[in-house]
């Protein structure tokens, strides 16, 4: 099989896996997301480093008008009423077209899931339509200077004073902290409670007295999103700003993570898919060495084979986790979400790294980089860190399998 035949075979396989087991409606949604992203995302980020850090508000407005910000938001709040599976398809296409824009847009959806999942009717009616229209940035403040992956208890306190909460504390690595209209804050509401049982999640509007926000500065990737330190100093909020149940914040976060981690897996798959397609085309149609396409050499062919197999595995894990969530089982959604995030982010990082290697010196350059593979590598790293580091995902998986050894087959599925 010559290089052209290999390329065409790959294209057929890509189409088959992209549409495998999807309903006609899901395929239409996937196609719409792909057409918008492929038409509108290229060229937004240029060789000028400043464009990587400039959020495209006009593009978000167009994205929202198409309904893409609200694919999995209920129709009564302005959304399309689809499930996690459909939203994951859109995230894949967005990150496939451009890793930085795709991650930035999908994070708006991910953060807003807290209210969509456990918010009360008043909270949903106030905030979700604004997010659907692209006119509101949500933020979730969990991480503290001394508490990263530890969700047992928090230094941030929320004292109950009549019909008010009074918040004091510091949060770091709050995504969209500089732009946020509100923060979902994890705060200790019962200092005497056992671990995991004494904190709550509380909605704090940005404009309340005592809320202070400062940038944490530049970072390796996802530069289009800001990361902020948020300080709460005697911030008074009404008791009805409680999101979920009092002292049961761990249940709120577990329900949130069961969905958000699948979206992170979709981010990783999309970033890797975009890099792989560019590298495959480069190796089999463009780059020759000693008269042969470099994809015909064993070393490069093995890298392409790994990428193809890794993407197929990511797709299967992601689809199973998303559909399991939408169906409410039969498997524990927290376990499958952790598995999907762990495997997809780890594999995606390896795939993008190999794609950079295929491009060689050109892949390492920041300017004139084919398919922005250097930026994709910087962006994909975060998927192994946020929403719980992959080491935490491993701990969750091990804990689940100790209690449910019969689920071990899902790891090798």
Q: Read off the pLDDT of residues 269-324 as tens digits, 9 standing for 90 and up.
A: 999 999 999 999 999 999 999 999 999 999 999 999 999 999 999 999 999 999 99
Query: What is the total count of domains within the chain?
Result: 3
Domain boundary among 220, 247, 274: 247
If asked whether residues 206 and 263 sit together in one domain, one would say no
If asked whether residues 96 and 201 sit together in one domain, one would say no
pLDDT score of 147: 82
pLDDT score of 70: 87
Query: Does the pLDDT value for residue 148 go beyond 70?
Result: yes
Average pLDDT, integer, range 199-210 = 98
* Domain with 123 in it: 19-137
Contact of 152 with 195, CB cutoff 8 Å: yes
Average pLDDT, integer, range 2-27 = 62
If asked whether residues 296 and 279 sit together in one domain, one would say yes
Query: Does the pLDDT value for residue 407 go beyond 70?
Result: yes
- Comparing 247 with 8, which gets the higher pLDDT? 247
If asked whether residues 317 and 191 sit together in one domain, one would say no
Per the domain annotation, does 357 fall within a domain?
A: yes
Point out the least confidently predicted range of 7-16, 279-288, 373-382. Answer: 7-16
pLDDT score of 20: 59
Mean pLDDT of the chain: 93
Active site residue 387: yes
Point out the least confidently predicted range of 2-6, 356-360, 376-380. Answer: 2-6
Domain boundary among 247, 269, 292: 247
Per the domain annotation, does 7 fall within a domain?
A: no
Per the domain annotation, does 210 fall within a domain?
A: yes
Query: Does the pLDDT value for residue 7 go beyond 70?
Result: no
Assign 411 a pLDDT band (cuts: 50, 70, 90). confident
* Beta-strand relationship, 182-188 and 242-243: unpaired
Residues in the chain: 413
The catalytically annotated residue of 93, 179, 277, 387 is: 387
If asked whether residues 295 and 376 sit together in one domain, one would say yes
Query: Does the pLDDT value for residue 14 go beyond 50?
Result: no
pLDDT score of 4: 47
If asked whether residues 55 and 169 sit together in one domain, one would say no
Contact of 210 with 260, CB cutoff 8 Å: no
3-state secondary structure the chain: CCHHHHHHHHHHHHHHHHHCCCCHHHHHHHHHHHHHHHHHCCCCCCCCHHHHHCCCHHHHHHHHHCCHHHCCCCHHHCCCCCCHHHHHHHHHHHHHHCHHHHHHHHHHHHHHHHHHHHCCHHHHHHHHHHHHCCCCCEEEECCECCECCCCCCCCCEEEEECCEEEEEEEEEEEECCCCCCEEEEEEECCCCCCCCCCEEEEEEECCCCCEEEEECCCCCCCCCCCEEEEEEEEEEEEHHHEECCCCCHHHHHHHHHHHHHHHHHHHHHHHHHHHHHHHHHHHHHHCEECCEEHHHCHHHHHHHHHHHHHHHHHHHHHHHHHHHHHHCCCCCHHHHHHHHHHHHHHHHHHHHHHHHHHHCHHHHCCCCCHHHHHHHHHHHHHHHCCCCCHHHHHHHHHHHHHHCHHHHHHHHC
Q: How far apart are CA 242 and CA 253, in angstroms?
A: 13
* CATH number of the domain that residue 100 is part of: 1.10.540.10
CB atoms within 10 A of CB 400: 20
If asked whether residues 175 and 264 sit together in one domain, one would say no
Assign 367 a pLDDT band (cuts: 50, 70, 90). confident
Per the domain annotation, does 96 fall within a domain?
A: yes
Per the domain annotation, does 12 fall within a domain?
A: no
Query: Does the pLDDT value for residue 3 go beyond 60?
Result: no
- The gap from C-alpha 338 to its chain's centroid, in whole angstroms, comes to 13
If asked whether residues 394 and 265 sit together in one domain, one would say yes
Residue located via tokens 């005592």: 210
Point out the least confidently predicted range of 8-22, 140-154, 346-360. Answer: 8-22
Per the domain annotation, does 4 fall within a domain?
A: no
Point out the least confidently predicted range of 33-42, 204-213, 336-345, 366-375. Answer: 366-375
pLDDT score of 17: 44
pLDDT score of 216: 97
If asked whether residues 118 and 182 sit together in one domain, one would say no
If asked whether residues 161 and 173 sit together in one domain, one would say yes
* CATH number of the domain that residue 327 is part of: 1.20.140.10
| pTM of the shown model | 0.93
Point out the least confidently predicted range of 18-32, 161-175, 291-305, 388-402. Answer: 18-32
Query: Does the pLDDT value for residue 19 go beyond 60?
Result: no
Assign 153 a pLDDT band (cuts: 50, 70, 90). confident
If asked whether residues 146 and 156 sit together in one domain, one would say yes
Q: How many CA atoms lie within 13 A of 186 on its CB side?
A: 30
For 78, the token pair is 């302005």
Point out the least confidently predicted range of 180-189, 306-315, 344-353, 369-378. Answer: 369-378
Share of residues in the chain with pLDDT > 90 (%): 88
Q: How far apart are CA 384 and CA 170, in angstroms?
A: 24
Point out the least confidently predicted range of 71-85, 119-133, 178-192, 359-373. Answer: 359-373
pLDDT score of 413: 60
* CATH number of the domain that residue 200 is part of: 2.40.110.10
Greatest mean pLDDT among 47-51, 107-111, 366-370: 107-111
Assign 47 a pLDDT band (cuts: 50, 70, 90). confident
Per the domain annotation, does 10 fall within a domain?
A: no
If asked whether residues 307 and 234 sit together in one domain, one would say no
Assign 149 a pLDDT band (cuts: 50, 70, 90). confident
Query: Does the pLDDT value for residue 391 go beyond 60?
Result: yes
Per the domain annotation, does 102 fall within a domain?
A: yes
Domain boundary among 184, 218, 247: 247
């Amino acid at each position: 099989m010559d290089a052209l035949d290999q390329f065409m075979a790959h294209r057929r396989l890509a189409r088959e896996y992209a549409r495998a087991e999807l309903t006609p409606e899901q395929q239409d949604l996937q196609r719409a997301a792909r057409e918008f992203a492929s038409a509108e995302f290229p060229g937004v980020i240029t060789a000028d480093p400043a464009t990587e850090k400039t959020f495209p508000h006009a593009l978000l407005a167009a994205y929202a008008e198409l309904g893409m910000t609200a694919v999995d938001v209920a129709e009564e709040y302005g959304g399309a009423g689809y499930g996690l599976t459909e939203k994951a398809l859109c995230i894949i296409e967005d990150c496939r077209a451009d890793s930085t824009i795709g991650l930035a847009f999908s994070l708006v959806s991910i953060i807003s899931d807290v209210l969509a999942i456990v918010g009360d009717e008043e909270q949903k009616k106030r905030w979700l339509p604004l997010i659907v229209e692209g006119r509101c940035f949500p933020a979730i403040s969990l991480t503290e200077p001394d508490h990263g992956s530890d969700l047992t208890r928090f230094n941030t306190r929320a004292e109950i004073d009549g019909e008010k909460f009074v918040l004091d504390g510091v949060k770091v690595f709050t995504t969209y902290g500089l732009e946020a209209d509100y923060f979902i804050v994890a705060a200790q509401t019962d200092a005497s409670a056992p671990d995991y049982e004494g904190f709550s999640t509380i909605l704090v509007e940005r404009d309340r007295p005592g809320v202070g926000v400062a940038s944490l500065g530049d970072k390796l990737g996802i530069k289009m999103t800001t990361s902020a330190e948020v300080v709460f100093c005697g911030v008074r909020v009404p008791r009805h700003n409680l999101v979920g149940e009092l002292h049961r914040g761990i249940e709120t976060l577990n329900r949130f993570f069961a969905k958000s981690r699948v979206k992170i897996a979709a981010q990783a798959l999309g970033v890797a898919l975009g890099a792989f397609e560019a590298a495959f085309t480069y190796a089999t149609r463009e780059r020759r060495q000693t008269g042969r396409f470099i994809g015909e050499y064993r070393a490069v062919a093995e890298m392409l084979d790994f990428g193809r197999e890794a993407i197929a595995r990511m797709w299967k894990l992601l689809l199973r986790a998303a559909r399991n969530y939408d169906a409410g089982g039969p498997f524990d959604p927290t376990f499958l979400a952790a598995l999907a995030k762990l495997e997809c982010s780890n594999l995606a990082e390896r795939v993008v790294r190999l794609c950079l290697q295929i491009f060689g010196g050109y892949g390492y350059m920041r300017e004139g980089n084919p398919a922005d593979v250097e930026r994709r590598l910087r962006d994909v790293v975060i998927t192994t860190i946020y929403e719980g580091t992959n080491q935490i995902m491993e701990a969750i998986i091990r804990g689940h399998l100790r209690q449910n050894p019969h689920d071990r087959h899902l790891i090798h599925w």
